[in-house]
Amino acid sequence: MPAVPPDSAAAAAPLLTREQVLRALRQVAREGRPLPPGTVYELVYRGRRYPPRAVAELAYRLATGNPAAHWPRAAGAPTNALLESLDFTISTKRPVLTSGSGPDGEETARQQAEDLYTGLPKEDPEAPVTGRPASATQAAEPTAPYAPPAYSRADALAELFIDAPSLDAALAGLTRRRNLLLQGPPGTGKTFLARRLAWLLLGAQDERRVELVQFHPSYGYEDFMLGFRPDAEGRFHLVPGVLPLLCQRAAADPERPYFLLIDEVNRGNVPRIFGELLLLLEADKRGPAHALRLPYAPPEMPRFFVPDNLYVIGTLNLADRSLAPLDYALRRRFAFVQLQPQFGEPLRAHLAAQGVPAPLIERLCTRMKALNQTIADDPELGPDFEIGHSYFCQPPKNEPAEAWLRLVLEQEIGPLLGDYWREQPAIAAGQLRKLLA
C-alpha cells in the first residue's frame, strides 16, 4: 500500500471540536501540568497563554482515547488555523513582558473583560466536564448538594436585640429601595443585623448569595468595579471587581435574591469607589434598559447593569471624627435605619441565659444607660457617640462573670471614653470609676 503523504494524513485526521479543546484546557488547569513552550505563537484564553500545538495534541489524545497519539498537523499555520476556526485566539509570542499593550495584550484585556458583564457565563477551562453545557444556575452553584439551614422571622427576633416593628420596618425599607444603610453608634450590631436581613429575604443562612466587603481609605474603583492589575508575569490585565462578578451571578439566577454587604461605607472615598453605581443603584434604574458602558471596557463589550434581584446593605459609623459626611447623591439612593444601644429586656434575657447573675446584669444595664445619657448630653459628643451593647454579648462560660465584666470595662470601654474626652481626661476617668464601682 503506498504511503499517504503527510498533508493528506493531516487533512484526513478528524477535526477537533471546541469542547474537546476546552476539555484539554480544563485538564491543564486542574492538574497544573507543564506543556512544552511554544516558540512563536500562543493560544490566549481567559487571560492565560498556552502553546497551541501542545494543547491541540492533548485535545487530540483525549478525543481519540489514545494517550500516545500524535497530533498530525505541523506547528504554526496548520495548527493555528484549526484552532482559530474554533474561535480561539492565536497571538504572536513576545520575548519580553508587556503591560497589556499591543495585539496580544489587547486581546487578553478583551477576554478578561468578557467575564465582567452580566448575562450567561462563558466557558471555564477549570469547570468540571459534564458532557453538556452548564446552565447559568449550575455555573453559580457548588457541585455537591448543599441545603443551607432555614432562617425565619422568629429566628431573627430570637437573636436580635430589636423589636418586631423595627425589624419589619428595616425589611420594608430594603424591599422598597433595594438599598439600605444601617447607621448608629459603635457596638450596636449593624453588621450582625445586615447579615440577618439578607438571610430573612433568602429564607435561609445561604452564604453563597451574600458577599461582604469592607471599605477603607485604600479601597478604590479598581477593587470594586473594574481596573487593570498585574499577573504573576508582570502583565497587566483588565480584571472585574467585587460588584460586577456578583451582578453576573445575580443576573444568571434571577429568581433568587443576592446581597452585597458593605461594612464601614463611609470609611472609603464613596463617590470614587462607586462610580457609575451611583446611578445604577436606584431601584428604578435596574436592568439592561439602564445599562452603561464602564470607562475601561472595550467598545465591543456589552454594557454593565445592576440586576433587579441584587440588594445592597451598608453599615455607617457616625462616631468617627476622621470620616467625611456621606455624599448626598448616595444618601438619596438608600433607605436609612437608625440603631440604638439596647440595654433593655432582650439583653437582660440574653445575659441571664448565658449564666450571668441577675444583680450583675442589673448593674451593667443601669450604669451603661446612665453613661450613654451623659454622652448624649455632652455638646462635644452627642447620641452618635453612645456605646452599644455588643461589647457585652459574649460572656465566657469558663470564668467568673464579675471578672469578665471588669476586664471589658477596663480594656474596651475605658480606652473609648479616654478618646471621647481626650481634652478632659478627668471626665473619662470619673465615668470609668462609676462603671467599676
Q: Across residues 237-244, what is the average pLDDT?
A: 86
The answer, yes or no, to whether residue 140 has pLDDT greater than 90, is no
Classify residue 374 as exposed, middle or buried by CB count within 10 Å of its CB (0-12, 13-18, 19+): middle
Model confidence at 141, pLDDT cuts 50, 70, 90, reads very low
What is the pLDDT of the chain when averaged over all its residues?
A: 81
Task: Give the tens place of pLDDT for each residue, 275-308.
Answer: 888 888 888 889 888 888 888 777 777 888 999 9
- The size of the chain, in residues, is 437
The answer, yes or no, to whether residue 396 has pLDDT greater than 70, is yes
**pLDDT of amino acid 418:** 94
**pLDDT of amino acid 285:** 87
Of 172-176, 323-327, 394-398, where does mean pLDDT reach its minimum?
323-327
Model confidence at 376, pLDDT cuts 50, 70, 90, reads very high
**pLDDT of amino acid 322:** 53
**pLDDT of amino acid 399:** 82
Burial state string for 119-143 with b = 16 or more CB within 10 A and e = fewer than 16 = eebebebebeeeeeebebebbbeee
Task: Give the tens place of pLDDT for each residue, 399-410.
Answer: 899 999 999 999
Contact 255, 137 (CB under 8 A): no
Task: Give the tens place of pLDDT for each residue, 312-349.
Answer: 999 988 776 555 566 677 778 899 999 999 999 999 99
Q: Which of 411, 434, 430 lies closest to 363, judged by CA? A: 434
Which comes out higher in pLDDT, residue 425 or 322?
425
**CA-based torsion, 341, 343, 346, 349: positive or negative:** positive
Total Cβ atoms within 10 A of residue 112: 22
Total Cβ atoms within 10 A of residue 153: 12
Model confidence at 146, pLDDT cuts 50, 70, 90, reads low
Total Cβ atoms within 10 A of residue 105: 18
Q: CA–CA separation, 123 vs 134, rounded Å?
A: 9
**pLDDT of amino acid 398:** 80
Model confidence at 87, pLDDT cuts 50, 70, 90, reads confident
Q: Which of 232, 235, 230, 175 lies closest to 200, judged by CA? A: 175
**pLDDT of amino acid 338:** 93
**pLDDT of amino acid 118:** 45
17 phi and psi, to 5 degrees?
Answer: -100, 165
Burial state string for 378-405 with b = 16 or more CB within 10 A and e = fewer than 16 = eeeeebbbbbbbbbbbebeeeeebeebb
Q: Across residues 354-364, what is the average pLDDT?
A: 93
**pLDDT of amino acid 5:** 43
**pLDDT of amino acid 166:** 94
**pLDDT of amino acid 74:** 85
Q: Across residues 424-428, what is the average pLDDT?
A: 94
Total Cβ atoms within 10 A of residue 107: 18
Q: Which of 89, 72, 71 lies closest to 80, judged by CA? A: 89
Contact 256, 309 (CB under 8 A): yes
The 3-state DSSP class for residue 395 equals coil
Q: Across residues 160-174, what is the average pLDDT?
A: 94
Residue type, 282: E
The answer, yes or no, to whether residue 108 has pLDDT greater than 50, is no
Model confidence at 358, pLDDT cuts 50, 70, 90, reads very high
Q: What is the DSSP letter of 143?
A: S
Most trustworthy range by pLDDT among 61-65, 125-129, 275-279: 61-65
